[in-house]
Structure 1
Amino acid sequence: MARDRKRVTRWTRGGVTPDLHAQKAMAVLHGIPEYEITARPWPEWLRPACMRDRELLDAEWTPATTIDLLDHVATTGGPMDRRGFLVVTGITPVLAGVATAEPAVANPHGRRIGATTPELFEASLAILRQQDDQLGSGQVHASARAQLHLIITTVKTTAHTEEIGRRLYSAAAEAARVCGWTAHDSGHHALAEEYYLVALRAAASSDDQAVTANTLAFWAITRYSGGDPRGAVDLVTDALGRTRSIGSPRMEAMLYARLARAHARAGEHRASDRALAAAFDAYDRARDRTPDEEPDCVYWVTLGELHSWAASNATDLGRPNVALAHYEAIPAAHRGEGYDSQAYPRAAALRLARTAEAHVAVGDLDGAVHTARRAVDYMGGVSSARGTSSLTDLRARLTAHNTVPVVQDFLAQTA
């Protein structure tokens, strides 16, 4: 290979894939396990050879290392152009790192700050979460990165107590989590995973169990969306182990719902059903609690959301009629909780697109098109690759019925 530079150029620039022997030689050279070659296509299996990815996985779990990695990812992670495969090949070592992470410490250097500073960051992050609901990930990602930069600078340059330091690391973890979620929602799963890795490091140093569990839950979405439902199960199972110290039935409901989604993606009917039942049971315990008694990050978890996840599970498991029953239960759930769909246009569009798919699956094309039109209306002005992809997938399903006049009209109007 060293003597044939034209061949290497064809690999790097000409779109030519090296033969298996050459790929194995490269794997040996870079210390990458041979199974990666079959687990990921060329050239994605080379990603673990990159110093950036190795740093995220292998660096010590200390506060100083974590803040440097946060700074590195926040600085080099945008614009959102990384659409590669997931960075992590095994979840267990990451969870082991969380268990051994060193806590944040006091910083005696710089201008001294008090509790007001982390409070301002926490308020800003609450606003970011709701802006994401309203405007979509494409428009919020840059704001989340800017907020993360500001928190990192504050950690590095101000004097603060250990308690304030932990709150700053907690805020940094949530800002990185928002960056990860907005990257995922924009279709950049590899970039999302980088943010989740550093978010989890910061959450571990903050010793904030709610932020840690929430980060694990959102990371699980990227894992099962990227073809690793077992990894998602491991992440959520670890998060569920933290619920006793958190004391939030609403978060517990969200985590069990995530677990049910992961099992459904893996085709595990019974495990998915058990987790879903646990989610509804936990939510029943949350009904009498005030918002102040729950972590702010689960404000969006509602009975309607649980039915929506249950419907998605049923669709994944080949039960379109069960899916429709859950979708039909959502309006009443929303009315009972005073839910405003206009405040969550992306969620409404995704839910309606999936409802339309269930109608297609049972042969109800009129119902599918009627629901699809509503989904299109909700997506107007919202930046979300997931929403756009859902509508594209729905159009593809309807194309198989393009001889039906009502379907023809919809496809022509949304072309």
Structure 2
Amino acid sequence: MSSGIGANIRRERDRLGWSQARLAREVCRAAGVIGEPVGRQEVSRWETGKRTPREWLPFLAAALGISPEALTGPQTPAEPPLPTLADYLPEGDPLAPLSAREGRRVGMGQVGDLQQRVHGLRLADDVLAGGDLIRPALRELRSAVRLYREGAHTGEVGRELLVQIGELAQIAGWIASDAGQHAEAERIYRLGLGAARQAEDHTLAGNLAGSLAYQLSNTGREVEGLDLARAALHGAGPDAPPKARALYLDRVAWAHTKAGGVENAQQAMRALGEAGEALAEDSEGTESPAWLYWVDAGELQVMESRVYTELRRPLRAVPLLRDVLSRYDATHTRELALYLSWLAVACADANEPEEAAAIAGRVIDLSRDVASERTAERVRVVLARLAEYAEVPEVMAVLNSVTLESKGPETLAASGADPLAGRKS
């Protein structure tokens, strides 16, 4: 039997958007057996090559809607395939329930309580920075995983718990990234992706994968970020809610922007246009997950303005950023600092160093007490851009004030982590 059978199984499963648990159920259904003699772990062993399907091969092929030969033959892709979301699952199975299953009974009431806490954490992230929220976020995540693994619950309750673990991992990963803990954030995102995949929530899986792709693009791993952003969009499929597709397309646009080059710039603009079209399909009757509450035309405008700034097209970026900033108040300190930092850079690109310096001074003031590595990185970017106009008196005053206060931009920037970002996009 071909050594590539595991890769073929995984490819076909991902084509259908099924989890390993779903494929296991479909194989048992195709075989007409009662119970589940094939489970998720057995499918995992097939895909990793630890076992071969043998007698299950005809039923596996029938479940996937292909011939057995298509599974046992060599892979011959026409072009290098995108990575699948399964490639980003955590090592082992950190969500495996404990075998005894003698823990306390968990019902929908506990799921509802967890859902409220997850949403509360999201709302807190709107006004607080990662450094302030990292401890409670990780504490909630550990508690939720323990509840799932150690509690006794029905299949329906278990699935809802997995969904909440996935949602909690997304916001906890975002918070960890904002706090500058990028390795920890990646582990959290991967855990959440595993939970979402087991729960067969493809929209949530796309959000987690897109969030990780966003971090990769911003931390020197632009190629990986672009591949994963595209895989997140592809994995969610065309039936994802319009708001979700708009969000995924926004992240694809940013990944193309960070990857650099003329072709990627063109792809970024195309993705922005498609994001706007996707959002236009949203209506009051469209059902979207609650965590998409913040995705609207204004958020697409935020990303559009940042893309234009990164592409050094200030004539387009500046009006958009000023419009965005007119809608934010002092309670959103981090977002104000971030968006103002982009405006400062855009003004510098427009050869308006005096205006850039005035805005930079406000960025520095806002960032001083914000425990966010994102704002700290933006301070570094702004100061580096202003240094090109060091002979301008207003610019010199800003640079000197930073030097006097913190003995160098590096020290000031250490107060807080990763470029851009606003909200949870």
TM-score (norm 2): 0.68
* 1:104 to partner: Cα distance: 8.2
- What amino acid maps onto 1:251 in structure 2? A
Asked whether the 8 Å contact 2:97–2:150 carries over to 1, the reply is no
How many Å separate the matches in 2 of 1:177 and 1:167? 15
Q: Which residue of the other structure, out of 305, 314, 317, is the alignment partner of 2:311?
A: 317
1:93 Cα deviation from its structure 2 partner:
6.1
Pair member with larger Rg: 2
Write the deviation string for residues 154-188 of structure 1: whole angstroms up to 9, x where unpaired: 11222111111111122222222233222222223
Q: Which of residues 151, 165, 177 is equivalent to 1:172?
A: 165
Q: Could you list the per-position Cα deviations for residues 94-140 of structure 1 after superposition, in whole angstroms to 9, with x for gaps in the alignment?
A: 53576xx9998899533222111111111111111121221100111
Residues 3-402 of structure 1 aligned to structure 2 (within 5 Å): 92=83, 94-96=85-87, 109-243=102-236, 247-267=240-260, 268-286=264-282, 288-289=283-284, 293-331=287-325, 334=327, 340-402=328-390
Aligned residues: 321
CA distance in 2, matches of 1:264, 1:111: 49
**1:330-349 C-alpha deviation (Å, 9 max, x unpaired):** 257x4xxxxx4334321221
* CA spacing shift, 1:142–1:383, aligned 2, 3 Å: same
Quickly say closer, same or farther: Cα 1:96–1:404, change in 2 above 3 A. Answer: closer
Runs of 5+ in structure 1 lacking a partner?
1-59, 66-89, 335-339
TM-score relative to the length of structure 1 = 0.69
1:376 maps to a residue whose letter is I
| Partners of 1:304 and 1:413 in 2: CA distance | 34
Deviation readout 1:357-409 (Å, 9 max, x if unpaired)? 11111210122123223323443532101101101221222233233222223
Distance 1:311 1:372 in 2: 17
2:105, 2:190 → 1: CA distance? 29
Evaluate the alpha carbon distance shift between residue 304 and residue 376 of structure 1 in structure 2; reply closer, same or farther with a 3 A threshold.
Answer: farther
Conservation of the 8 A alpha-carbon contact between 1:104 and 1:206: no
Does the Cα contact within 8 Å between 2:83 and 2:231 map onto a contact in 1?
no
1:133 touches 1:345 (CA, 8 Å); kept in 2?
A: no
Question: Is the CA contact 1:110–1:158 (under 8 Å) kept in the aligned structure 2?
Answer: yes
What one-letter code is carried by the residue in structure 2 that aligns with 1:312? R
Over aligned residue pairs, what C-alpha RMSD do you find? Answer: 3.1
In structure 2, distance between residues paired with 1:372 and 1:237:
34
Call closer, same or farther: CA 1:270–1:158 in 2, change over 3 Å. same
Unaligned runs of 5+ in 2: 1-38, 45-80, 406-425
Q: Secondary structure at the match of 2:389?
A: coil
Deviations 1:304-355 (A, max 9, x none): 32222112222322323222243234257x4xxxxx4334321221111011
Hey, what's the Cα distance between the residues in 2 that align with 1:258 and 1:233? 9
Q: Distance in 1 between matches of 2:267 and 2:128?
A: 35
* Alpha-carbon distance in 2 for matches of 1:305, 1:373: 25
